[in-house]
Chains A and B, each alone.
Chain A
Amino acid sequence: MMGDSVILETQGITKRFRGLVAVDRFDIAVQERTIHSLIGPNGAGKTTVFNVITGIYRPEEGKVLFEGQVLNGLKPHEILARGIARTFQNPRLFKNMTCLENVMAGQHAHGRAGFWSSILRLPHQRREERRIRERAEEWLKRLNLWHFRHELARNIPYGCQKLLELARALAAQPKVLLLDEPTCGLNESEKETMIQFIEGLPKEGLTVLLVEHNMNVVMGLSDLITVMNYGKKIAEGPPEAIYNDPVVIEAYLGRGGTRVA
């Protein structure tokens, strides 16, 4: 089950917003081909960690390493090209474009066609367009969104929007996938579909870093769990250990809290 090599790592990253320390000397090491969850109470800094890894924020201190290389200072689009794709907590889709076009965005970084070859529709540009489209169509089919392909993204149900965002990220053919609360706002059956899908990803060679609030989801899916609070790592371990860790229970329920059932 466990991979044996670290693919994504942060070393002592710190991110401050004015006086507030959102992430405080935070370390995490994600093993290849595993599902690693990052949990913690609201405002613990989980999404900030995602934003630092993907280059949306620059950390004041610390390093982000991907396959042994430092990512600090790279722009978000360069980080995606290295092989890290993400989804957002509230889907950030391209609302006035079709679902197909949305998923095609994932393939953008794998395209080469420039200004003139696009205007002149040169043969290699046409081939590339076809390939971009075919790949996108594959992902739409796999996530059961095929019938929505020509619908505008803003017109499809919320649950499908979450799936569409996942399809878009997967179309980028990443090595590591960062999922920010993928089951948030989904109904039970949608949740089930999403969980099953995520579960299968390591078998296809992907590594998943998951931020999730739903404890059942986290406990069922994760190989390893990292818990953070106030921007710091407070615990790390396999699901069973985290489940019974008094420090974690305190962070969620307060001092003296006991778990019922």
Chain B
Amino acid sequence: MNPLKKWRELRTWAPLRLAFLALFLAFLVSFPFWGSRYWVDVGFYVGLYALLGLGLNVILGEVGLFNLGHAAFWAIGAYATAILNARFGLPTLALLPVSALVAAGCAWIISSPIIHLRGDYLCIVTIALGEIVRLVLINNPGGLTGGPNGVVGIDRPVFLGHVIRTPMDFYFLVWALVALCAFGLRQLQRSRIGRAWNYIREDEIAAEAMGVDVRALKLLAFVLGAALAGIAGNIFAAKMRMVSPDSFTFLESCLMFCIVLLGGMGSIPGTILGAALVVLFPEILRPVAQYRLLFFGLALAATMYFRPGGLWPRRRAVEFLREAKS
């Protein structure tokens, strides 16, 4: 047997995979108990960006739609929570699904007229949409968004009588949601919906000719991706206890884009790895202070040059072998 085949075989070996997954989970769960407060906070942001990355991964990674305005949906989710809590007193945690729905609804309305656009055209329109949402928030429509100052005084979320306040609490909240979303998305990947998304990414005309309702599935991807960003928005608002337009800039959309490209389009573990790198890199590079972004950029360029498919691409052939065995 040639070494490549052997390696493939090894990766289909269930005990090894399970051991790896168990090790990773053990690390995730135990980390807050031995890591410093500061690093637990960093861990929270990794989870938050993983959530945002997973949402964008549906749109960009699975369907191949260039969305460079994903921060807009994050902002909509965060403001939905902020306004409904600070102005109307609804409990923060109960607003989690509400934020998801509001972001999803906005995504549906916003993306319906532009969903047929391809490639770079869609990209330009989504950049504009991201900016429009941010500018609308700054302009304080109806006195709801608080203009440049944003909305302050958001309540801490309460889960079964327990007030979520420490970095550790938030760490567990966000990673529980990442795990839930990753699981759901994995199920979708292995279904006809997930495959149809990939058919569209690979060849839209052929997908259409094979009976895929391209428009409906693209809309579904946008709506789902936005819903995940809405969830991230709720947690972000609860953590910061305030929201302001400064948090949802074009740069944030770019970072999410990097997360998906870095990890590998359409790869769930890749996206989580990408989020970890994008959040950790500036932390690791603190010693070189003002040259941080330069190094970050270089690292990104190098990754794309040496591994154009991302650091942890999805291995479809291996997946099928694995399923055939089980």
Interface residues, chain A, with chain B CB atoms under 8 Å away: 54, 56, 75-77, 80-81, 85-86, 88, 92-98, 100-101, 104-106, 108-109, 111, 113-115, 118-121, 125, 128-129, 132, 149-152, 168-169, 172
**Cβ of B33 to closest chain A Cβ, rounded Å:** 32
4 A-B pairs with least C-beta separation: A109-B211, A118-B191, A94-B202, A92-B206
- B202 nearest in chain A by CB position: A94
Q: Is B258 an interface residue (CB 8 A)?
A: no
The answer to whether B208 and A77 have CB atoms under 8 Å apart is yes
What are the interface flags for B199-216 relative to A under an 8 Å C-beta threshold, 1 for contact and 0 otherwise? 100110111111111100
The answer for the CA separation of A93 and B201 in the assembled complex, in Å, is 11
Instruction: Write 14 A-B pairs (CB below 8 A) sorted by A numbering.
Output: A54-B209, A56-B208, A75-B208, A77-B212, A93-B202, A94-B202, A94-B206, A96-B198, A100-B320, A109-B212, A118-B191, A118-B192, A120-B187, A149-B320
What A residues does B203 contact at CB under 8 A?
A: 92-95
Report if A98-B317 is in contact (Cβ < 8 Å); known contacts: A105-B210, A108-B210, A121-B187: yes
Least distance between A170 CB and chain B CB atoms (Å): 11
> Beyond the given A93-B206, A97-B195, A109-B211, could you list 9 further A-B residue pairs with CB under 8 A, ordered by the A residue number?
A77-B208, A92-B205, A105-B196, A108-B192, A109-B212, A113-B193, A115-B224, A118-B192, A129-B190
Please give, as numbers and ranges, the residues of chain A lying within 8 Å of B196 by CB-CB distance. 105, 108
CA gap between A45 and B284 in the complex, in Å? 61
Least CB distance, A109 to chain B, in whole angstroms: 3
Contact of B199 among A94, A118, A119 (CB under 8 A): A94
Restricting to B270-326, which residues have a CB under 8 Å from any CB of A? 316-317, 320-321
Cα of A77 to Cα of B199 in the assembled complex, Å: 13
Report the tally of A-B residue pairs with Cβ distances under 8 A.
Answer: 116
Chain B residues near A105: list those with CB within 8 A: 195-196, 199, 206-207, 210-212
B317 / chain A contacts, CB cutoff of 8 Å: 98, 150-152
Residue ID in chain B nearest A125 by CB atoms: B191
Partner of A150, one of B193, B210, B320: B320
Q: Could you say which residues of chain B place their CB within 8 Å of the CB of A125?
A: 191
Contact B187 A118 (CB under 8 A): yes
Q: Assess whether B316 is in contact with A152, with CB atoms less than 8 Å apart.
A: yes
Partner of A76, one of B194, B208, B320: B208
Q: How far is the CA of A108 from the CA of B195 in the complex (A)?
A: 9
B187 CB contact (under 8 Å) in A77, A119, A169: A119
